[in-house]
Amino acid sequence: MKATRGCRFSFHVTVVAAAIAYIYFSTVFVFIDQWLGLWSSPGILNAVLFSVVALFCILSYALAIYTDPGRVPSSFVPDVEDPENTVQEIKRKGGDMRYCQKCSLYKPPRAHHCRVCNRCVLRMDHHCVWMNNCVGHANYKIFFVFVLYAVIACIYSLVLLVGSITIDSPKDNQQIEGSYRTVYVLSGLLLVPLSLALGVFLGWHVHLILQNKTTIEYQEGVRAMWLAEKGSHVHSHPYDLGAYENLIAVLGPNVCCWAFPTTRHIGSGLRYRTPFEGSSTSRS
Protein backbone atom coordinates (compact mmCIF):
# COMPACT_ATOMS: atom_id res chain seq x y z
CA MET A 1 0.00 0.00 0.00
CA LYS A 2 1.25 3.44 -0.86
CA ALA A 3 1.91 5.59 2.19
CA THR A 4 1.23 9.29 2.42
CA ARG A 5 2.87 12.00 4.47
CA GLY A 6 1.79 15.29 5.92
CA CYS A 7 3.08 18.37 4.12
CA ARG A 8 4.52 21.07 6.38
CA PHE A 9 5.08 24.60 5.12
CA SER A 10 7.97 25.01 2.70
CA PHE A 11 9.17 28.18 1.05
CA HIS A 12 10.46 26.21 -1.95
CA VAL A 13 7.10 24.48 -2.51
CA THR A 14 5.38 27.86 -2.34
CA VAL A 15 7.76 29.24 -4.98
CA VAL A 16 7.05 26.29 -7.31
CA ALA A 17 3.29 26.63 -6.82
CA ALA A 18 3.47 30.37 -7.55
CA ALA A 19 5.58 29.75 -10.69
CA ILE A 20 3.10 27.14 -11.97
CA ALA A 21 0.15 29.49 -11.39
CA TYR A 22 1.94 32.42 -13.06
CA ILE A 23 2.97 30.39 -16.12
CA TYR A 24 -0.55 28.97 -16.53
CA PHE A 25 -2.45 32.25 -16.31
CA SER A 26 0.04 34.21 -18.44
CA THR A 27 0.00 31.49 -21.10
CA VAL A 28 -3.78 31.11 -21.34
CA PHE A 29 -4.97 34.66 -20.73
CA VAL A 30 -2.12 36.59 -22.36
CA PHE A 31 -0.13 34.57 -24.92
CA ILE A 32 -3.01 32.52 -26.36
CA ASP A 33 -5.46 35.40 -26.11
CA GLN A 34 -3.12 37.90 -27.79
CA TRP A 35 -1.98 35.55 -30.54
CA LEU A 36 -5.03 33.43 -31.42
CA GLY A 37 -7.88 34.98 -29.52
CA LEU A 38 -8.95 32.99 -26.47
CA TRP A 39 -12.47 32.30 -27.78
CA SER A 40 -11.45 31.39 -31.33
CA SER A 41 -11.28 27.71 -32.34
CA PRO A 42 -7.42 27.61 -32.30
CA GLY A 43 -7.43 29.56 -29.03
CA ILE A 44 -9.83 27.18 -27.31
CA LEU A 45 -7.92 24.13 -28.61
CA ASN A 46 -4.56 25.40 -27.33
CA ALA A 47 -6.08 26.53 -24.04
CA VAL A 48 -7.57 23.06 -23.49
CA LEU A 49 -4.34 21.26 -24.44
CA PHE A 50 -2.22 23.48 -22.22
CA SER A 51 -4.70 23.10 -19.36
CA VAL A 52 -4.47 19.30 -19.62
CA VAL A 53 -0.66 19.43 -19.50
CA ALA A 54 -0.82 21.84 -16.55
CA LEU A 55 -3.33 19.61 -14.75
CA PHE A 56 -1.09 16.54 -15.05
CA CYS A 57 1.88 18.64 -13.95
CA ILE A 58 0.07 19.89 -10.83
CA LEU A 59 -1.35 16.43 -10.02
CA SER A 60 2.07 14.77 -10.34
CA TYR A 61 3.69 17.48 -8.23
CA ALA A 62 1.12 17.13 -5.44
CA LEU A 63 1.44 13.32 -5.46
CA ALA A 64 5.24 13.53 -5.38
CA ILE A 65 5.03 15.81 -2.33
CA TYR A 66 2.47 13.78 -0.40
CA THR A 67 3.66 10.26 -1.28
CA ASP A 68 6.04 8.76 1.24
CA PRO A 69 9.19 7.71 -0.69
CA GLY A 70 9.44 4.43 1.19
CA ARG A 71 10.17 3.46 4.78
CA VAL A 72 12.30 0.55 5.98
CA PRO A 73 10.08 -1.81 8.01
CA SER A 74 11.18 -2.08 11.64
CA SER A 75 11.09 -5.88 11.26
CA PHE A 76 13.45 -5.97 8.26
CA VAL A 77 16.46 -8.29 8.61
CA PRO A 78 18.52 -9.27 5.53
CA ASP A 79 18.24 -12.98 4.72
CA VAL A 80 21.77 -13.97 3.72
CA GLU A 81 20.68 -17.57 3.11
CA ASP A 82 17.98 -16.70 0.57
CA PRO A 83 19.12 -18.32 -2.73
CA GLU A 84 17.04 -15.87 -4.79
CA ASN A 85 18.67 -12.84 -3.19
CA THR A 86 21.87 -12.88 -5.22
CA VAL A 87 23.06 -9.38 -4.25
CA GLN A 88 23.79 -8.45 -0.65
CA GLU A 89 25.07 -4.92 -0.15
CA ILE A 90 27.74 -4.65 2.52
CA LYS A 91 29.71 -1.86 4.14
CA ARG A 92 32.81 -0.69 2.30
CA LYS A 93 34.85 -1.06 5.45
CA GLY A 94 34.65 -4.31 7.37
CA GLY A 95 32.32 -6.13 4.98
CA ASP A 96 29.42 -6.20 7.47
CA MET A 97 25.77 -5.97 6.50
CA ARG A 98 24.66 -2.36 6.08
CA TYR A 99 23.18 -1.08 9.33
CA CYS A 100 21.97 2.42 10.17
CA GLN A 101 23.07 3.50 13.63
CA LYS A 102 20.71 6.50 13.60
CA CYS A 103 17.59 4.50 12.70
CA SER A 104 18.75 1.29 14.45
CA LEU A 105 17.70 -0.67 11.38
CA TYR A 106 19.36 -2.83 8.76
CA LYS A 107 19.43 -1.18 5.35
CA PRO A 108 17.81 -3.06 2.45
CA PRO A 109 19.63 -2.89 -0.90
CA ARG A 110 19.66 0.62 -2.41
CA ALA A 111 18.37 2.25 0.81
CA HIS A 112 20.16 5.26 2.28
CA HIS A 113 19.76 7.53 5.29
CA CYS A 114 18.47 11.04 4.58
CA ARG A 115 19.88 13.62 6.96
CA VAL A 116 17.04 16.06 6.20
CA CYS A 117 14.19 13.59 6.77
CA ASN A 118 16.24 11.89 9.52
CA ARG A 119 15.34 8.37 8.39
CA CYS A 120 16.34 5.72 5.89
CA VAL A 121 14.62 5.87 2.50
CA LEU A 122 14.12 2.89 0.17
CA ARG A 123 15.94 3.25 -3.18
CA MET A 124 16.79 6.83 -2.31
CA ASP A 125 17.64 9.05 -5.27
CA HIS A 126 17.99 12.43 -3.56
CA HIS A 127 16.26 14.84 -1.19
CA CYS A 128 14.39 17.46 -3.20
CA VAL A 129 13.97 20.81 -1.44
CA TRP A 130 11.52 21.89 -4.18
CA MET A 131 9.16 19.12 -3.02
CA ASN A 132 10.06 19.20 0.68
CA ASN A 133 10.37 15.44 0.37
CA CYS A 134 12.80 12.69 -0.56
CA VAL A 135 12.66 11.09 -3.99
CA GLY A 136 12.76 7.35 -3.48
CA HIS A 137 11.24 3.97 -4.23
CA ALA A 138 7.55 4.88 -3.90
CA ASN A 139 7.53 8.29 -5.58
CA TYR A 140 10.41 8.24 -8.08
CA LYS A 141 8.18 7.55 -11.09
CA ILE A 142 5.74 10.26 -9.94
CA PHE A 143 8.64 12.69 -9.63
CA PHE A 144 9.89 11.77 -13.11
CA VAL A 145 6.43 12.23 -14.64
CA PHE A 146 6.17 15.65 -12.95
CA VAL A 147 9.49 16.76 -14.48
CA LEU A 148 8.33 15.46 -17.88
CA TYR A 149 5.10 17.48 -17.81
CA ALA A 150 6.93 20.52 -16.42
CA VAL A 151 9.30 20.46 -19.41
CA ILE A 152 6.41 20.07 -21.86
CA ALA A 153 4.49 22.92 -20.20
CA CYS A 154 7.49 25.27 -20.19
CA ILE A 155 8.37 24.63 -23.84
CA TYR A 156 4.70 24.87 -24.89
CA SER A 157 4.33 28.18 -23.04
CA LEU A 158 7.58 29.48 -24.54
CA VAL A 159 6.40 28.66 -28.07
CA LEU A 160 3.13 30.49 -27.45
CA LEU A 161 5.03 33.46 -25.99
CA VAL A 162 7.30 33.72 -29.04
CA GLY A 163 4.33 33.24 -31.39
CA SER A 164 2.29 35.96 -29.74
CA ILE A 165 5.19 38.41 -30.12
CA THR A 166 6.36 37.59 -33.66
CA ILE A 167 3.04 36.80 -35.37
CA ASP A 168 0.54 39.50 -36.25
CA SER A 169 -2.12 39.42 -33.57
CA PRO A 170 -5.82 40.24 -33.95
CA LYS A 171 -5.39 42.25 -30.73
CA ASP A 172 -4.22 45.83 -30.56
CA ASN A 173 -0.39 45.95 -30.72
CA GLN A 174 -0.34 49.01 -28.47
CA GLN A 175 -2.07 46.99 -25.77
CA ILE A 176 0.65 44.31 -26.03
CA GLU A 177 3.44 46.85 -25.76
CA GLY A 178 1.70 48.62 -22.89
CA SER A 179 -0.11 46.66 -20.20
CA TYR A 180 1.41 43.25 -21.07
CA ARG A 181 5.04 44.32 -21.50
CA THR A 182 5.95 43.33 -17.92
CA VAL A 183 4.23 39.94 -18.32
CA TYR A 184 6.24 39.17 -21.46
CA VAL A 185 9.55 40.22 -19.90
CA LEU A 186 9.00 38.28 -16.67
CA SER A 187 7.75 35.23 -18.57
CA GLY A 188 10.78 35.22 -20.86
CA LEU A 189 13.16 35.56 -17.92
CA LEU A 190 11.39 32.66 -16.21
CA LEU A 191 10.65 30.28 -19.09
CA VAL A 192 13.97 30.31 -20.95
CA PRO A 193 16.24 29.26 -18.05
CA LEU A 194 13.53 27.00 -16.62
CA SER A 195 13.08 25.15 -19.92
CA LEU A 196 16.84 24.65 -20.27
CA ALA A 197 17.37 23.56 -16.66
CA LEU A 198 14.41 21.19 -16.55
CA GLY A 199 15.28 19.81 -20.01
CA VAL A 200 18.79 18.93 -18.86
CA PHE A 201 17.40 17.51 -15.60
CA LEU A 202 14.91 15.36 -17.50
CA GLY A 203 17.64 14.08 -19.82
CA TRP A 204 19.78 13.22 -16.80
CA HIS A 205 17.03 11.12 -15.22
CA VAL A 206 16.26 9.40 -18.54
CA HIS A 207 19.96 8.43 -18.58
CA LEU A 208 19.69 7.12 -14.99
CA ILE A 209 16.51 5.16 -15.74
CA LEU A 210 18.06 3.50 -18.80
CA GLN A 211 20.88 2.26 -16.53
CA ASN A 212 18.56 1.53 -13.57
CA LYS A 213 20.60 3.80 -11.31
CA THR A 214 19.76 6.39 -8.72
CA THR A 215 21.68 9.65 -8.40
CA ILE A 216 23.41 8.26 -5.30
CA GLU A 217 24.31 5.03 -7.10
CA TYR A 218 25.75 7.00 -10.01
CA GLN A 219 27.96 8.98 -7.64
CA GLU A 220 29.04 5.81 -5.86
CA GLY A 221 29.57 4.07 -9.19
CA VAL A 222 32.03 6.70 -10.40
CA ARG A 223 34.27 6.01 -7.41
CA ALA A 224 33.78 2.23 -7.71
CA MET A 225 34.69 2.35 -11.42
CA TRP A 226 37.85 4.31 -10.62
CA LEU A 227 38.86 1.78 -7.96
CA ALA A 228 38.07 -1.14 -10.29
CA GLU A 229 40.18 0.30 -13.11
CA LYS A 230 42.97 0.95 -10.66
CA GLY A 231 42.89 -2.73 -9.70
CA SER A 232 42.53 -3.91 -13.33
CA HIS A 233 38.93 -5.02 -12.76
CA VAL A 234 35.69 -4.27 -14.58
CA HIS A 235 32.92 -2.57 -12.61
CA SER A 236 29.28 -3.17 -13.57
CA HIS A 237 26.10 -1.91 -11.97
CA PRO A 238 24.42 -4.93 -10.28
CA TYR A 239 20.86 -3.79 -11.10
CA ASP A 240 21.32 -3.02 -14.81
CA LEU A 241 18.89 -5.33 -16.64
CA GLY A 242 19.21 -3.76 -20.09
CA ALA A 243 17.55 -0.58 -21.36
CA TYR A 244 14.01 -1.89 -21.92
CA GLU A 245 13.89 -3.96 -18.71
CA ASN A 246 15.22 -0.94 -16.81
CA LEU A 247 12.41 1.21 -18.22
CA ILE A 248 9.85 -1.39 -17.16
CA ALA A 249 11.38 -1.65 -13.68
CA VAL A 250 10.93 2.08 -13.09
CA LEU A 251 7.94 3.10 -15.24
CA GLY A 252 5.94 -0.14 -15.13
CA PRO A 253 5.18 -3.01 -17.54
CA ASN A 254 2.28 -1.21 -19.26
CA VAL A 255 3.75 1.26 -21.77
CA CYS A 256 0.39 3.06 -22.00
CA CYS A 257 0.74 4.02 -18.31
CA TRP A 258 4.29 5.39 -18.50
CA ALA A 259 3.08 8.99 -18.76
CA PHE A 260 0.70 8.68 -15.81
CA PRO A 261 1.74 9.12 -12.12
CA THR A 262 0.79 5.54 -11.17
CA THR A 263 2.92 3.23 -9.02
CA ARG A 264 1.02 -0.06 -8.75
CA HIS A 265 4.01 -2.00 -10.12
CA ILE A 266 6.67 -1.00 -7.59
CA GLY A 267 6.42 -3.75 -4.94
CA SER A 268 7.84 -3.41 -1.42
CA GLY A 269 11.27 -2.04 -2.38
CA LEU A 270 13.15 -4.48 -0.14
CA ARG A 271 14.84 -6.34 -2.98
CA TYR A 272 15.41 -5.78 -6.70
CA ARG A 273 16.00 -7.97 -9.73
CA THR A 274 19.53 -8.37 -11.00
CA PRO A 275 20.95 -9.71 -14.29
CA PHE A 276 21.80 -12.92 -12.44
CA GLU A 277 18.11 -13.75 -11.99
CA GLY A 278 15.65 -15.01 -14.58
CA SER A 279 13.37 -12.52 -16.31
CA SER A 280 10.35 -14.13 -14.70
CA THR A 281 11.63 -13.41 -11.19
CA SER A 282 9.40 -10.81 -9.56
CA ARG A 283 10.38 -8.22 -7.04
CA SER A 284 8.95 -8.54 -3.56
Residues with active-site annotation: 128
Q: Residue 134: CB partners within 8 Å, gap ≥ 6?
A: 69, 114, 116, 117, 121, 124, 125, 126, 127, 128
Q: What is the maximum span of the chain, computed from C-alpha positions, in angstroms?
A: 77
**How many angstroms from the chain centroid is the CA of residue 102?**
27
* 155-179: burial string, b at 16+ Cβ within 10 Å, e else: ebbbebbebbeeeebebeeeebeee
- Check: CB of residue 216 under 8 Å from CB of residue 48: no
